[in-house]
Chain A
Amino acid sequence: MADGSKTKTFIVTRFDPDRHEAPTTETYEVPVRERWKVLDALNYIKDELDPTLSHRWSCRMAVCGSCGMNVNGEPKLTCKTSLAEYGDTVRVEPLANFPVVRDLVVELDGFMDKFRAVKPWIIKAKERAVEEGPHRQSPEELEVFRQFSMCINCMLCYAACPVVANEPEFLGPAAIALGHRYNEDSRDEGARERNRIFRGEGTIFSCSYANECSEVCPKHVDPAAAINQAKFRAVLDWAASFVTSGPREE
């Protein structure tokens, strides 16, 4: 085209709970520009072709984690995914493994519950007096868990995980990585509590190390590494409970 755009065909999942029994698809022809991301095309569809299309997005800079969708079968942050990676036809679907609220928007309730379950906050054995000052942490101590604190909760790892698909109650990659991040934090004293949760049903030992979560993670958090390191820690913690004082672990 004269204005430097090229037309691509977008096959987009549509679902209106008031009208559809199950999701359907709709096809749009979009004149895409050279540097467009998938999100730009979706916004073009919404603004110019079909204002009824629903999709989530916010920051456009891979920070908020809102715009995760399946693009040609692979979970992607649509604001970070260049259209140049794809051919003439691009299929955009809601994230797999999540119930669909409308079109490309998925339900987050279960996901947020899983986050709360791992107690993602610093737990102290006893209150620290203000006079004691801040709890300092060295760069080396920070480096141990820094990678796992980069998660933006975009849910791509859940959409990619074959275990979540078969076992929906599985705590899942992001939540376990977050729990492990606190277990590795030198300021935290709640590892024993979290490890007790981690040794329960549908948690770390349900992971079969498919590594898909790490492959699709746009922030290189590497949740698969976190889960498998957490397995080691949880077992060590269980074994230690036999030789140290305190309540025996079940």
Chain B
Amino acid sequence: MARMAHPQAMQPARPPRTRTARPKAPDYLRPRMLSYLLFDATGIVYLLAGLVVLRAVFALASGPAAWQAFVADLHHPGYVAFHLLTFVSAVFVGVRFFRLFPKAQPARIGPLRPPPRPLIHAMLYAVWIAVTAFVVAAMVGVIP
């Protein structure tokens, strides 16, 4: 007795998939990519800065002596270096954000259109300078 044909025997042959080599990762050592990785790494700096703020809050809650000890610790060269690093990180992230923010604005919201990109840039920097000037004035006691 003849053997039954396989039900799918007449279907067209499907060529096997070609073996491929694994994808290679992008070159992370290119200057632009390094800059992006640095931007990502600033997250660690902000995490540590957050921990310092938490320590300040706990010191404040623990009374004047604890607060004075905390303020004295801030004069340690390690703390000064860390705050310098935080400042540089903040400037770096700010400049990067200001560069990329304008083009992320939608082309229109209903009938409204965003202002020209150079104007958005200028407004961002103006606000930054104003806020920085206000904070510095408050710190040096110009604003009571």
Partner of B23 from the list A17, A20, A96 (CB cut-off 8 Å) is A96
A53 at the interface (CB under 8 A from B): no
| A209 / chain B contacts, CB cutoff of 8 Å | 100, 104
Min distance, Cβ A202 to any Cβ of chain B, angstroms:
16
Contact B25 A97 (CB under 8 A): yes
Instruction: Assess whether B108 is in contact with A97, with CB atoms less than 8 Å apart.
Output: no
Chain B residues near A30: list those with CB within 8 A: none
Q: Once the chains are docked, how many angstroms separate the CA of A107 from the CA of B22?
A: 11
- A49 proximity list for chain B (CB < 8 A): none
A211-B23 CB under 8 A given contacts A73-B29, A144-B108, A236-B109: no
Q: Are B25 and A74 in touch, CB under 8 angstroms?
A: no
Contact B26 A161 (CB under 8 A): yes
Residues of A within 8 A of B100 (CB): 209, 211, 224, 228
Which residues in B have their C-beta under 8 angstroms from that of A231?
Answer: 104
Interface string of B97-127 (1 = CB under 8 A from A): 0001001111111000000000000000000
Chain B: minimal CB distance from A189 (Å): 16
Check if B24 sits within 8 Å of A94, measured CB to CB.
Answer: yes
Total A residues in contact with B, Cβ cutoff 8 Å: 43
Whether B62 is near chain A, meaning CB under 8 Å from some CB there, is no
Assess whether A2 is interfacial by the CB under 8 Å rule: no
**Cβ contact within 8 Å between B30 and A73:** yes
B1-42 residues at the A interface, CB under 8 angstroms? 18-30, 32-33, 36, 40
CB-based nearest B residue for A216: B32
Cα of A70 to Cα of B28 in the assembled complex, Å: 13
**A86 part of interface (Cβ distance < 8 Å):** no
Task: Determine if A22 is an interface residue (Cβ-Cβ < 8 Å).
Answer: yes
- Nearest CB in chain A to that of B19: its residue: A17
Q: Take A144-B107, A184-B107, A209-B100 as given contacts and tell me if A96 and B21 are in contact as well, using a CB distance cutoff of 8 Å.
A: no
Contact A229 B18 (CB under 8 A): no
B36 touches A162 (CB 8 A): yes
Residue in A75, A161, A229 whose Cβ sees the most chain B Cβ within 10 Å: A229
Q: Are A215 and B32 in contact (CB under 8 A)?
A: yes
Pick from B23, B25, B33, B103 the residue with the most CB of A within 10 Å.
B23
| A20 to B33 CA separation, bound complex (whole angstroms) | 30
Contact between chains at A17 and B32 (CB < 8 Å): no
For A229, the chain B residues whose CB sits under 8 A away are 104-107
Q: Per-position contact with B for A23-53: 1 when CB-CB < 8 Å, else 0? A: 1000000000000000000000000000000
Chain A residues 151-189 with CB under 8 Å of chain B are 159-162, 165, 168, 184
B39 to chain A minimum Cβ distance, whole angstroms, is 8
A92 at the interface (CB under 8 A from B): no
Is the pair A96, B24 in contact by a Cβ cutoff of 8 Å? Answer: yes
For the complex formed, measure the closest distance between the CB of B101 and the CB atoms of chain A, giving whole angstroms: 9
Point out the residues of chain A lying under 8 angstroms from B19, CB to CB: 17
Q: Which of A211-242 contact B (CB under 8 A)?
A: 211-212, 215, 222, 224-225, 228-229, 231-233, 236
- Chain A residue nearest to B28 (CB atoms) is A162
* A117 interface hit (Cβ, 8 Å): no
Q: Which residue of A lies closest to B40 (CB)?
A: A208
A165 contacts B25, CB within 8 Å?
yes
Q: Which residue of B lies closest to A143 (CB)?
A: B107
Asked if A122 is at the interface (CB within 8 A of a chain B CB), the reply is no
Q: Which of B20, B21, B25 has the most CB of A within 10 A?
A: B21
8 A-B residue pairs with Cβ-Cβ distance under 8 Å, sorted by A, are: A23-B21, A73-B30, A94-B24, A98-B23, A100-B20, A145-B107, A211-B36, A232-B105
